[in-house]
Amino acid sequence: MLATVPTFALEGVDARAVAVEVDVRRGLPAFTVVGLPDATVREARERVRAGLLNSGLEFPLQRLTVNLAPAWVRKAGASFDLAIAVGLLAASGQVPAEALAGCAVSGELSLGGELRPVSGALAIALGCTAAGLRRLVVAPGSACEAALVDGLEVCAVPTLGHLVELLHGRWRPDPPRPRATGGGGGPPAPDLADVRGQDDARRALEIAAAGGHSLLMVGPPGAGKTMLARRLPGILPPPTVAEALDITRVQSVAGSGDGRLARTRPFRAPHHTVSASGLVGGGARPRPGEITLAHRGVLFLDELPEFARAALEALRQPLESGRVEIVRGQVALSFPARALLVAAANPCACGAGGERCECGPVARERYRDRLSGPLIDRIDLVCQVGALSATALAARSPAGERSAAVRARVVAARERQAARLGGCGPTCNGELGAAATRALADGAGRASAQLARALDAGLLTGRGHDRVLRVARTVADLAGSATIEAEHVAEALAYRATGGWSRGAAR
């Protein structure tokens, strides 16, 4: 007898449909698994055998062949256990095959026959609806996450015994109740009101948040760079439902989620000793890197020049495309990586910068060279964070503006962008592609001529030109202006043309 059970293999943060075909026929007892299984999948034989027997079910002593199709996709992990067990039950007539129509299963088995949760349950549930399946059987620990997807019947099944009863129509699980809110609990984000002075950097932070533009803050130690960057999540708009699903899906694949829909955007601040694969993802079984874990949130690289050159260079492609492409052997994977990059750096090795700098010219040059031109060229806003005067720091009042007020302006600017950009594709100016940016230039009239002059004078690269234009669009959105005016371009240019690094890149 032959039975086919749909299940899923994780590829990046997506689930690929896999059909588990089980053939049971007379012959010498044997149990073979084919279709590019890795060692964990082959070990499923032992778990399935013990799981069935310990549940009081029959393990057929016949010739058993399991094929995981499509055969060329590499299968890894224990999540195929359940599909193999269910296939055996159906092929040996212990459960009615018609009860399996339109039903996918995913889960690891214990030797006692209990179902264990799998990582990426949300991705698998999304895969189910994409494949037109209407029912998904998972362990209770995976059910809440899977139930975040609308229009899918999620069955939380604790053991193989319960599953057999379910398929015979003699038992029904309680529908899982998605724990709707939550996610990313912990202490609330710190408030911008704590920051004294630094009006320039606050403005740059607001523009970065409003348009999704990458930002580098340069200044001496103790000026408040780290402090400012940590306050960025507090002025970003809350994630939309689609974005929250995106965030939750990444967390679920990375195994860091709590089964609830993420309510806050991620904030990732990897230490500067992080490796290239730690930052962008990779490894023998490719894992998401920091930039993917920061998807739809903030990636903060403090002390940017201290990061390994290889790690920073690996960021170049994902910063441009919003995705990480990883090729390992025959597998090509793609992880989402739309994170807002914020970086901080001292102006030179001694930290003082400007007139008080004690570094020699060679040391200064060497420090500058730690960041490559192409990387700096990908940063939209460079702002100088000056040392704070004693009076400004000591002043009790006026306190800085609160995050809530800044966030209201950011949200208003984002709404203007959303109205202009329509429903699908890019959601903010920072994500605009080349064609959309050209269209901006056409609408900018005189302001665009001003930019063309900067390009001709060699002050901007082609990429820089486009990036300034997108920032100018955000400045106009913050000002509530339908058109890009000369003053908006001027402000955008100022954030490109200040600071040694940005000037170096312009050359």
Ligand X SMILES: Nc1ncnc2c1ncn2[C@@H]1O[C@H](COP(=O)(O)OP(=O)(O)OP(=O)(O)O)[C@@H](O)[C@H]1O
Q: How far is the CB of 267 from Mg ion (least distance, A)?
A: 15
Three-class HEC string of 107-155? CEECCCCEEECCCCHHHHHHHHHHCCCCEEEECHHHHHHHCCCCCCEEE
Closer CB to ligand X, residue 55 or residue 384? 384
The 380-399 contact track toward Mg ion, x by CB under 5 A, reads --------------------
- Give whichever of 330 and 391 is closer to ligand X, judged by the CB atom: 391
Report CA-CA distances (Å) from 504 to 231, 360, 373, 459, 501.
29, 18, 7, 10, 5
In this structure, the chain runs to a length of: 507
- Closest-by-Cβ residue to ligand X is 224
Write the DSSP symbol of residue 388: P
Q: Which two tokens stand for residue 330?
A: 């025959």
219-238: which residues touch Mg ion (CB under 5 A)?
Answer: 226
- Considering only residues 348 through 377, tell me which ones interact with Zn ion, judged by CB under 5 A: 348, 350, 357, 359
| Window 442-471: contact mask with Zn ion (x via CB under 5 A) | ------------------------------
221 binds, among Mg ion, Zn ion, ligand X, none (CB under 5 to 8 A by kind): ligand X
Q: How far from each other are the two terminal CA atoms of the chain, in whole angstroms?
A: 71
Smallest gap, in angstroms, from Cβ of residue 369 to Zn ion? 14
> In the structure encoding, which two tokens stand for residue 462, read together?
């082609």
CB of 224 to ligand X, least distance (A): 3
Give min distance, CB of 217 to ligand X, in A: 8
Instruction: Report d(CA 173, CA 32) in Å as an integer.
Output: 33
- Nearest-approach distance from CB 194 to ligand X, in angstroms: 6
**Helices of type H across 370-461:** 373-377, 390-394, 403-421, 434-444, 446-456
Segment interacting with Zn ion (CB under 5 A) among 17-25, 91-99, 345-353, 453-461? 345-353
Closer Cβ to ligand X, 387 or 421, answer by number:
387
User: Which of 202, 204, 233, 225 is CA-nearest to residue 471?
Assistant: 204
Cα 168 versus chain centre, distance: 41
Q: With CB cut-offs between 5 and 8 Å by kind, which of ligand X, Mg ion, Zn ion, none does residue 29 bind? A: none
- Considering the complex, state which of residue 4 and residue 226 has its C-beta at the smaller distance from Mg ion: 226
Q: How far is the CB of 11 from Mg ion (least distance, A)?
A: 38
Four-residue CA torsion sign, 416, 321, 491, 460 = negative
Q: Where does this chain bind Mg ion (CB under 5 A)? A: 226
Q: Where does this chain bind Zn ion (CB under 5 A)? A: 348, 350, 357, 359
